[in-house]
Amino acid sequence: MSLLESIRAGRQLRNVGGIQNDSSAPKTVDTLKLSDEYDSLVLQANIENWGSALAEAGFTPKTVMVPLSLDQGRLLLKAYEELDKDAKKTVVDNARKEYLTTGLTSSPLLPGEARLLGELGPGVQRAIDELSEKEDDGKGEGGCFVKLSSRSPKDAAARSGVFESYYARELRRIREGGEDLDEQRKLWILCQAEGAALRFRDAASVVRALVLSERVWQDMTLALRHPENWQQNVILRKWEPVPIDMVAHSPRLNDPAQRESAVSAMKDLFAKLWPILSEIFSGKCVLDFGVIPPSSTSKLDTPWRAILIEVNPFEETTDGALFSWTKERDILEGKKEGLEYSVVRVTETKRGGALAMVPKGWKEVVEKVESRTQL
Provide CB contacts within 8 A for 61, sequence distance 6+: 55, 145, 237, 238, 239, 240, 307
Highest mean pLDDT among 113-117, 168-172, 291-295 belongs to 113-117
Instruction: Indicate if the pLDDT at residue 58 is higher than 90.
Output: no
CA distance 177 to 6: 53
pLDDT at 116: 98
Task: Calculate mean pLDDT across residues 129-141.
Answer: 66
Backbone φ and ψ of 67, nearest 5°: -55, 140
User: What are the E-state strand segments in 60-119?
Assistant: 63-68
Please tell me the distance from the alpha carbon of residue 216 to that of residue 212, in angstroms, as a whole number.
8
Distance CA 85, CA 83 (A): 5
The span from the CA of 85 to the CA of 43, in Å, is 28
Quote the pLDDT of residue 29: 45
Q: Which pLDDT score is estimated for 292?
A: 84
Compute how many other C-beta atoms are within 10 angstroms of the C-beta atom of residue 328.
Answer: 15
pLDDT at 228: 94
Please give the average per-residue pLDDT across 38-44, as a whole number: 86
Tell me the per-residue pLDDT of 289-338, one tens digit each, with 9 for 90 and over: 888 888 767 777 778 889 888 888 887 677 887 788 888 888 888 888 88
Tell me what percent of the residues of the chain surpass a pLDDT of 70: 81
Helix (H) or strand (E) holding 238: strand 232-238
- What number of other Cβ atoms are within 10 A of residue 304's Cβ? 19
Q: Where are the domains of the chain?
A: 59-240+352-371, 256-332
Q: Within the chain, what is the greatest distance between any pair of CA atoms?
A: 61
User: Which one is predicted more confidently, 14 or 46?
Assistant: 46
The string over 197-221, giving b where at least 16 C-beta atoms fall within 10 Å of a residue's C-beta and e elsewhere, is bbbbbbbbbbbbbbbbbbbbbbbbe
- pLDDT at residue 26 above 60? no
| DSSP symbols for 133-186 | TTGGGGTS---EEEEESS---GGGHHHHSHHHHHHHHHHHHHHHHT----HHHH
The side-by-side arrangement of strands in the sheet containing 232-238 is 63-68, 232-238, 144-148, 199-200
Q: How many CB atoms lie within 10 A of CB 339?
A: 10
Q: Which residue has the higher pLDDT, 247 or 27?
A: 27
pLDDT at 352: 66
Stated pTM of the model: 0.82
Q: What is the mean pLDDT of the chain?
A: 81
In angstroms, how far is CA 276 from the centroid of its own chain? 23
Cis upstream peptide for 205 (omega within 30°): no
Contact between residue 294 and residue 261 where contact means Cβ atoms under 8 Å apart: no
Angle formed at CA 157 by CA 155 and CA 160, multiple of 5 degrees = 125
Backbone angles phi, psi at 371, to 5 degrees: -70, -25
Strand partners, 312: 286
